[in-house]
Amino acid sequence: MSNYYLAIDIGASSGRHILGSIENGKIVLEEIYRFENGMKKKDGHLCWDVNALFNEIKTGISRCKQIGKIPVTMGIDTWAVDYVLLDHEDYILGETYGYRDKRTTGMDDKVYEIISPEELYARTGIQKQIFNTIYQLMAVKLQTPILMQRAANFLMLPDYFHFLLTGNKKSEYTNATSTQLVNPKTKEWDYELIDRLGYKKEIFRPLSMPGTSVGRFTDAIREEVGFDCEVVLPATHDTGSAVLAVPAKEDDFLYISSGTWSLMGIEAKEANCSAECMQANFTNEGGYEYRFRFLKNIMGLWMIQSVRHELNDNYSFARLCELAEEVHDFPSRVDVNAVCFLAPDSMIDEIKRYCEETGQQVPKTVGEISTVIYQSLSESYADTVREIENITGRTYDGIYIVGGGSNAEYLNKLTAEKTGKQVYAGPGEATAIGNITAQMLAGKEFPDVKSARACIYRSFEIKEIK
C-alpha cells in the first residue's frame, strides 16, 4: 500500500485538498475537496474569514476518512504576508486583514522614518511591496496600538491553522521571509530591526524549516475528522512550494510560478542584497533547504482573473486566450506592476484609462483587453529575464512555467517569443505538488530534491514551447 500525503493549498480565490502518493515510480494526485475563498469587505476593510477557512480545512480533512484514504502526514500552504496576532489566551486580536487592504497606505514612509529603504533592503533582501507584513504591522502600531501591546504571539496564516490542528505554535521559514523582517544571513528573525520598529520582538517564535514536524492532531480534531495524523511543515509560502515542484533537470534554471501573481526568478545559494538588486526590485525569499528564491514579483494573472469576473465568468480562460490571439497585433501595452492595477473597482476601466492617459489606442473588445494583458505580461517577463542575466552574468536556455498559468497557451507562446527561450509549461498543480514533495522528502520517499524533481518531471505532462 502506498502512503498518502495530504496537501491543503489555499490561494486567494480558492482552496483545495489534494492527496498524493507514489505509484509505479510516479507521483499520483487526487483532488478530494475544493472550496471558494476571497477577501470580505468589513467596516470598509478587506479581511479574511479565518473561522470559515478553518471549517473548510476540517471538512476537507474529513473527506479522507470518508473515502478510506488516511494520510500519514499533511501540511498547509497559503499566500504570503498575511498573519494573526494572538493574545495570551490564543484569541485573534482585531481583524485578519487581507494584503490588498488599503490600511498600509503611507506606512512605508513611517517605516522609513526609522530605517532607510537602502538599509532595510541590505538587511533583509526583500522586494518592497506596500502589503509586506512589515508595513501591515506599522499600521497596527500606529492605528490600533492597544493590539500590539496585548499581542502574545505572531503567526502567519498557515502557521495559525497548523496551531489550530495540533495545539503547537511553529513559525515556518519560507513564509516568514515574506514579512521583510528576516535576516538572510542568520536565517532568523532580525530581532534588532523588529525592536527598532517598535514591534514586540517576544511575539516572534524561532523559525522552523519545511520538513519539520508540528505535531499530531489534538483530541478534539481527531474526534471531529475521524482519524489522527501528523502535521509536517511544507514550504508554507505557496510560491516556496511551487518552486520546489519545478521539474528542472539542471540545477541552474529560470522559473515562473504563474498564478494570481507571477513570481519569476532563479534559485540561489546566497541572497543578493546589493543596491543594484534593490533598484531592479528583486527579492530574496527563503526556499527549501535554505535556498533563496531570487525573483521578481509581477502582477500575474490577477488582471485577467479580474476581467473574467467583471464579465460574470462567461468566458473560460482558454477562450480569453483564443480571443486575445485573434487580435494579436493590437498595439497597446500597460505596466502590469502599476499600483492602479492592484485592487481597482473595475480592471477593464483601469486598463482603458491607462491606455488613454498614455496616448495609446484604447481597447474596446474582450479580445483587445485580453491581448493587452497577455502581451504586457510577456514583455514584463522578457524584461525580467534580461535583468536576471545582467545581474547574475549567466545565460539561461529555458524557462519553467509552473502553476495554473502554465495552462495559458497563448501567454506561454508569447513568453517564448518575447524572451527567445525554450518554455517548459507544467505542472499546473505545482504548489500542491511542492507541498506534498516536502512531506515526501520528510518521509524518506526521495533521497534529495534532485531526485524528487526528476520524479515530478516523469509524473506530469510538461509541454515544450519554442
Active-site residues: which are they? 238
What's the CA gap between 332 and 127, in Å, rounded?
28
CA 415 from centre of chain: 21
Q: Which three cell numbers stand for residue 3?
A: 502512503
Residue the block writes with cell 494583458: 373
- Count the Cβ atoms, other than its own, within 10 Å of residue 41: 9
Enumerate the H helices of 68-156 as residue ranges. 107-112, 117-124, 133-143, 145-150
Residues 165, 171, 177, 178, CA torsion sign: positive
Beta-strand relationship, 207-208 and 171-172: parallel
- Count the Cβ atoms, other than its own, within 10 Å of residue 286: 28
- Count the Cβ atoms, other than its own, within 10 Å of residue 269: 10
One-letter amino acid for residue 437 of the chain: T
Q: Tell me the β-bridge partners of 265.
A: 255, 295
What's the CA gap between 283 and 271, in Å, rounded?
9
One-letter amino acid for residue 426 of the chain: G
DSSP code of 58? H
- Count the Cβ atoms, other than its own, within 10 Å of residue 102: 15
- Count the Cβ atoms, other than its own, within 10 Å of residue 171: 23
